[in-house]
Amino acid sequence: MYTLKQIEESTMASFQAKESHGHKYWYIVESRRVNGKPRPVVLAYLGKPEDLLRRLEGLTEGYRFKSYSHGAVAALLEIASALEIPALINHYVKSPRSYMTKKPIRNQLTVGITLLLGALGRVCMPTSKRGWWNWAKTTSCEYLLRCKLDRIDSQHFWDLMDALPIAAIAKIEREVLRRVRNLFPLPTDTLFYDTTNFFTYIATTNKRCTLAQRGKNKQKRYDLRQVGLALVVTRNDSIPLFHLTYKGNGHDCVVFQRVSKTIKQRLVDVGLDLDRHTIVFDRGNNSKNNLKTVQKLNLHYVGALTPSHHKTLVQEAMKRFESVVVDDLPLEVYRDRREIWGEQRTVVVYISEQFKAGQLRGLHHLLTKKKSALQKIRDSLNESATLHRDRGKLENRISQLVKGQFLKPVIEWSVTENADGRLGLEFSMNRGELKKVEAHLGVRILMTDRHEWSTIDIIKAFHGQANIEQAFKNLKNPHHLTLKPQFHWTDQKIHVHYFMCVLGYLLATLIWQRARQKGKFQGTLDTLLNLLNNIRLTTLIEKTSNQGRPKIIYQLEDASEQEDILIDALNIRSTHLTRPKFKEISVYNHT
């Protein structure tokens, strides 16, 4: 479709008339060389003379306009079409008894396209399954797929989600990633592993759901049951290579022990060279047994150690620090090779000023809270008319209150007793000990089997953990990609819902990668999705007569300079003309 601006800018365009069945039709034609010979090329069809007159006079009677959010769904559907995701999912779909030998179809849509549509919704504007159509009807999704979507509701999703076995999810993910590696540049060297959790509103009395359990919720919702998610992402574009949905009460160390072998198998299945790849994990996933497992699996690693468990190493490092510059930041660093948990490992000890600043804020905030709590206890002892005779109970209460890694040497306290048996409390802050504690804050200890790596490379690899932290932030972003709202309460539905969300995140990271490589895009994934949602497709509907079918013209709206660059980088300019093609949307290929 040529715009009027493009036609105006053409220096060789002219009006030409052609007759057909006794009627004259007007065109805008440009002479171009085709295979070295001049040929007339039609730029635009203008219609009959009366149609041309109406256009020239600028009359708009009989015209209707409507626009749709287009950029994000167009880019995502094109990637999904190239990967043939619906057909791949449908290959693993089971046939419920109610369907006998046929695979399930609801509203003429297959399981594969339904889960893909759900994934698109999670990326662009997360809603409940019931509210999916309210979002979809504001987009060009229905036009691009050439099928009706207005009957998709929560029951539609539930029925078709139920047809995907949990065991098939890992197989589908593996096959998708194989296709991703074949079709897209996916440079991988350092991989990042971590876990997080998502709270749910599943009732405590619900015994049918085993995934949702109470645990240490990272969003401080300890009153609710939660579900855990383990993730492995790449260094450059945070592309997810592995995910696992697990019980919410699973400890990070235990989960890592459980999935490490599976992660290795995933890397092998996707075709990655284990010797060239290094997995990075933080100290929350670390333990002696986990390091033994990683070594047995021949996985290269960069991990972290807890400074309080290696005080001798920290003290030695404090005396022998050397200055290095990492990403333009000066760091005090100590490097050594020594035996840790029975194996020779390269260790790097350094002071992170950013980490130290955060620890200082946390320490002083905690000291203020503890001081206020101790003051309340002292006031209650002084004001109460009742004798406090249970000294042991009071001392135990205070001991629990001041318990903590840095608090014990800093807070000094004692329980006193006067002549009439009344108990009192005296406490103070030891400034000397506080300064010693502050001096040792910000310490990080890294360990690796990459003995040949430079100190700077080891530190940079560990700093890459920010990639997976950002991935978790994206998956908790209420405007794009979030796993919530999660209105499912059976294990199977939760597994499929998480798969659908991670699939959406995978597609989003692929268009983010393409935007950065081809469009030189520098913004975040969230910013990219906002820009793409703002790229709109306009429909111009022209009624020719009371009996004839209306003419419909599809045209992209005028875009900003940045949006225009993304349109070209992500092949959006002609998507509404070619429209992505899928092997299976409403018909299965039976073999």
Concatenated DSSP letters for 318-387? HHS-EEEEETTEEEEEEEEEEEETTEEEEEEEEE-HHHHHHHHHHHHHHHHHHHHHHHHHHHHHHH-SS-
Mean pLDDT in the chain? 85
Q: Longest C-alpha distance within the chain, in Å?
A: 122
Tens of pLDDT, residue by residue over 455-476, are 999 999 999 888 899 999 999 9
Amino acid at 437: V
Average pLDDT over residues 297-314: 89
Q: Which of 89-103, 192-206, 492-506 has the highest mean pLDDT?
A: 492-506
Tens of pLDDT, residue by residue over 197-218, are 999 998 888 888 999 899 888 8
Residue 348's pLDDT band, with cuts at 50, 70 and 90, is very high
Tens of pLDDT, residue by residue over 149-189, are 999 999 999 999 999 999 999 999 999 999 999 998 777 88
Sheet of strand 190-199, all strands in order from the earlier edge strand to the far edge: 240-247, 226-234, 190-199, 278-280, 300-305, 443-448, 343-351, 329-340, 322-326
pLDDT of residue 425: 87
Average pLDDT over residues 524-529: 94
Tens of pLDDT, residue by residue over 107-150, are 889 999 999 999 999 999 999 999 999 999 999 999 999 888 99
pTM: 0.81
Long-range own/partner contacts, residues 311-315 (CB < 8 A, 24 or more apart): 313/338, 313/347, 313/349, 313/445, 314/349, 314/440, 314/443, 314/445
pLDDT of residue 11: 43
Q: Where is pLDDT greater, at 366 or 60?
A: 366
Question: Helix, strand, or coil here: 273?
Answer: coil
Nearest to 114 by CA among 83, 139, 138, 80: 80
Question: Helix, strand, or coil here: 272?
Answer: coil
Dihedrals phi, psi of 395, to nearest 5 degrees:
-65, -40
Both tokens of 109, joined, read 């849509």
Nearest to 322 by CA among 346, 350, 300, 296: 350
Share above pLDDT 70 across residues of the chain, in percent, rounded to a whole number: 89
Nearest to 560 by CA among 15, 23, 129, 71: 71
Lowest-pLDDT choice from 98-107, 131-140, 577-586: 98-107
pLDDT(545) > 80:
no
> Which residue(s) pair with 198 in the sheet?
227
Tens of pLDDT, residue by residue over 50-91, are 676 666 555 455 567 788 999 999 999 999 999 999 999 999
Amino acid at 203: A
Size of the chain in residues:
591
What DSSP string describes 409-430? Answer: TTEEEEEEE-TTS-EEEEEEE-
Residue 404's pLDDT band, with cuts at 50, 70 and 90, is confident
pLDDT of residue 53: 64
Average pLDDT over residues 345-353: 91
Residue 290's pLDDT band, with cuts at 50, 70 and 90, is confident
CA gap 414, 423 in Å, rounded: 10
Pairing of strands 190-199, 226-234: antiparallel
pLDDT(529) > 70:
yes
pLDDT of residue 579: 87
CA gap 220, 341 in Å, rounded: 33
pLDDT of residue 547: 58
Lowest-pLDDT choice from 42-56, 260-274, 506-520, 552-566: 42-56
pLDDT of residue 558: 84
pLDDT of residue 355: 86
Pairing of strands 37-47, 443-448: unpaired
pLDDT(1) > 90:
no
Average pLDDT over residues 322-340: 89
pLDDT of residue 111: 92
CA gap 196, 365 in Å, rounded: 25
Pairing of strands 278-280, 240-247: unpaired
pLDDT(9) > 70:
no
pLDDT(7) > 60:
no
Cβ proximity of 104 and 159 under 8 Å: yes
pLDDT of residue 55: 63
Q: Which residues contact 299 (CB under 8 A, 6 or more apart)?
A: 260, 263, 264, 274, 279
pLDDT of residue 447: 93
Give CA separation, 8 vs 3, 42, 324, in Å.
9, 14, 60
pLDDT(349) > 80:
yes
**Angle between helix 111-124 and helix 525-534 axes, rounded to 10 deg:** 100
